[in-house]
């Protein structure tokens, strides 16, 4: 085994050479999950609050607090929109979850989403220069049943303090009701990242995958596996971007979506699914193998694998097949197995495999762009603009079947995305602060640079301590022992 390093740059090579491809794929998952637990214990979580203003002597306390701050209070009483200039509201996001659908782990109780929500806040700051607060809430009754109206009321009550809200890990159908009502009623953007964010980045990856496969979005046959918040929104965004609904077949746990699924028509909370039933699968194909025969694209956001998608299904697909298997934490089929079955391009939601189609590429830039022009909404057009921004950025620096989309370490992609999204907000009439593309780019670039330099300074000064190498080595040893 190669000696492990703190930067984890050689993660795929740290396991014994005698490990098979399947064992290495499983080992990576076990290693990252165990290391995540140990690293979170070491740091006690991953976010803290740090002031952005200085203290230059005792009386500065009286400037930042009473009596001086009374001036700010009375200005905000008379001119509420001055909150964008006199507070951090304009660069602050609430990451709200009831933890009822955390990654691929399902309902994790009222505390279960904290790790993910802090992770969103971490990525927003480092990648987008955006401050964020993780807010996991208890909206359950005495029987443990979540109440979507409590989430709606909670978000409406916190609106004065935040410039945007990122909804996360909320189960369906509650997530649809919550998003639709809040988008309609709030004067700040309310964004459901599991749905809209995943859809935006999936479209970005698909745009470039289709270019490499020399296929057109208007012509390809597409199978979507899973009909949760992510894939139902992906289907909607793909149709808005030019993919005909009649070329799509969507499967959930009970079969395919079509007009035969009349239970959706009778359910007032299933209006999105019934709409998809009416727009897709006109031939009412209800067999996955029949659907996969001759398909050009598979987009799976369903049950974590690695055996959810069968290699024999991929063998039925058209030449130069595009396979996105994006369940977390384990894709529906590992990339090596999909490639062996004949896939031309394979993407997953994970950064330790090629082609990470993950909403982490979207939400930092999208929210930064929306915040910078003080948008009141994030429209579908803004999500599509973000997709083309990501795709164009990757194409300009070069794409290939194992590199169809930018990665999180390409810092310049996020200010570019922010600026493109902001310009679409202006075009859609939801921006209340009109700036140029260059102005938004410069603001975002400056804030992102400052966020990264601040973290680096804290690391250099050992105010953020490096985890001990022994922690990583112990986790590696533990992982390898799981295969003995």
Mean pLDDT of 440-455: 97
Helices (H), 186-323: 198-213, 229-240, 262-265, 271-279, 288-292, 311-315
Q: Are strands 255-256 and 248-252 parallel, antiparallel or unpaired?
A: antiparallel
103 Ramachandran zone, left/alpha/beta (phi>0; psi -120 to 50): left
198 Cβ contact partners less than 8 Å away, ≥ 6 residues apart: 230, 233, 234, 301, 326, 358, 359, 362
> From the CB of residue 295, how many other CB atoms can be counted at a distance below 10 Å?
22
* Closest by CA position to 255, among listed 282, 295, 285: 285
Residue 478 is predicted with a pLDDT of 96
Considering 33, 65, 216, 449, which one is annotated as catalytic?
A: 65
Please report the domains of the chain, with CATH numbers, ordered by start residue.
88-188 (3.40.50.10380), 199-435 (3.40.50.720)
65 in active site: yes
Q: How many angstroms separate the CA atoms of 422 and 368, rounded?
A: 8
Q: Indicate whether 1 pLDDT > 70.
A: no
211 in active site: no
At 305-336, the pLDDT tens digits run 889 999 999 999 999 999 999 998 889 999 99
Q: For residue 233, what are the CA distances in angstroms to 190, 199, 269? A: 15, 6, 15
Q: Where are the beta strands (DSSP E) in 232-307?
A: 248-252, 255-256, 297-300
Please say whether the beta carbons of 286 and 256 come within 8 A.
yes
Which residue(s) pair with 20 in the sheet?
none
pLDDT tier for residue 3 given thresholds of 50, 70 and 90:
low
pLDDT tier for residue 450 given thresholds of 50, 70 and 90:
very high
Nearest-5° Cα angle at 415, 179 to 169: 25
Please say whether the beta carbons of 4 and 28 come within 8 A.
no
Q: Indicate whether 216 pLDDT > 90.
A: yes
Residue 2 is predicted with a pLDDT of 54
Mean pLDDT of the chain: 94
* pLDDT over 90 percentage in the chain: 85
Query: Residue 329 carries which DSSP code?
Result: S
pLDDT tier for residue 104 given thresholds of 50, 70 and 90:
confident
pLDDT tier for residue 364 given thresholds of 50, 70 and 90:
very high
Residue 47 is predicted with a pLDDT of 95
Residue tagged 């009386």 (tokens):
59
Lay out the sheet containing 92-97: strands in order across. 131-136, 92-97, 164-167, 190-192
Mean pLDDT of 40-69: 95
Q: What is the longest distance spanned by two Cα atoms in the chain?
A: 75
The token duo for 233 is: 């929104």
Considering 26, 120, 236, 339, which one is annotated as catalytic?
A: 120
């Amino acid at each position: 085994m190669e000696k492990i390093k703190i930067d984890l740059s050689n993660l795929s090579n740290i396991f014994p050479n005698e490990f098979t491809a399947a064992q290495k794929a499983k080992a990576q998952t076990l290693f990252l999950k165990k290391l995540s637990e140990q690293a979170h214990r070491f740091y006690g979580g991953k976010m803290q609050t740090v002031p952005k203003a200085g203290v230059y002597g005792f009386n500065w306390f009286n400037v930042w607090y009473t009596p001086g701050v009374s001036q700010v209070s009375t200005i905000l009483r008379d001119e509420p929109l001055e909150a964008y200039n006199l507070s951090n509201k304009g660069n602050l996001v609430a990451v709200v979850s009831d933890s009822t659908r955390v990654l691929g782990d399902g309902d994790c109780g009222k505390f279960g989403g904290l790790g993910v929500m802090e992770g969103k806040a971490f990525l927003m700051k480092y990648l987008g220069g955006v401050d964020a607060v993780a807010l996991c809430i208890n909206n359950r009754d005495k029987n443990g049943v979540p109440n979507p109206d409590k989430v709606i009321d909670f978000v409406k009550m916190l609106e004065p303090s935040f410039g945007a809200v990122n909804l996360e890990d909320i189960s369906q159908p509650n997530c649809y009701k919550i998003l639709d009502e809040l988008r309609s009623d709030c004067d700040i953007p309310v964004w459901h990242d599991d749905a809209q964010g995943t859809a935006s980045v999936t479209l970005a990856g698909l745009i470039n995958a289709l270019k490499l496969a020399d296929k057109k979005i208007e012509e390809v046959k597409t199978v979507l596996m899973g009909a949760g918040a992510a894939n139902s929104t992906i289907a909607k965004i793909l149709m808005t971007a030019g993919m005909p609904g009649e070329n799509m077949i969507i499967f959930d746990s009970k079969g395919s979506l079509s007009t035969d699924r009349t239970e959706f028509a009778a359910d007032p909370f299933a209006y999105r699914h019934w709409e998809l039933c009416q727009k897709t699968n006109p031939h009412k194909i209800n067999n996955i193998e029949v659907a996969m025969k001759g398909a050009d694209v598979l987009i799976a956001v369903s049950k974590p694998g690695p055996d959810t998608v069968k290699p024999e299904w991929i063998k039925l697909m058209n030449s130069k097949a595009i396979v996105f298997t994006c369940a977390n934490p384990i894709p529906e089929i590992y990339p090596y197995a999909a490639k062996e079955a004949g896939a031309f391009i394979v993407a997953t939601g994970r950064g330790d495999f090629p082609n990470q189609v993950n909403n982490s590429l979207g939400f930092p830039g999208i929210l930064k762009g929306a915040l910078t022009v003080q948008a009141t909404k994030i429209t579908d057009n803004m999500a599509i603009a973000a997709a083309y921004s990501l795709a164009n950025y990757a194409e300009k620096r070069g794409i290939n079947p194992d590199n169809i989309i930018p990665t999180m370490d390409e810092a310049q992609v996020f200010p570019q995305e922010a600026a493109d999204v902001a310009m679409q907000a202006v075009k859609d009439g939801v921006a209340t602060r009109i700036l140029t593309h260059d102005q938004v780019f410069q603001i975002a670039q400056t804030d992102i640079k400052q966020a990264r330099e601040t973290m680096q300074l804290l690391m250099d000064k050992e105010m953020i301590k490096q985890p001990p190498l022994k922690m990583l080595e112990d986790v590696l040893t533990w992982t390898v022992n799981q295969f003995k």
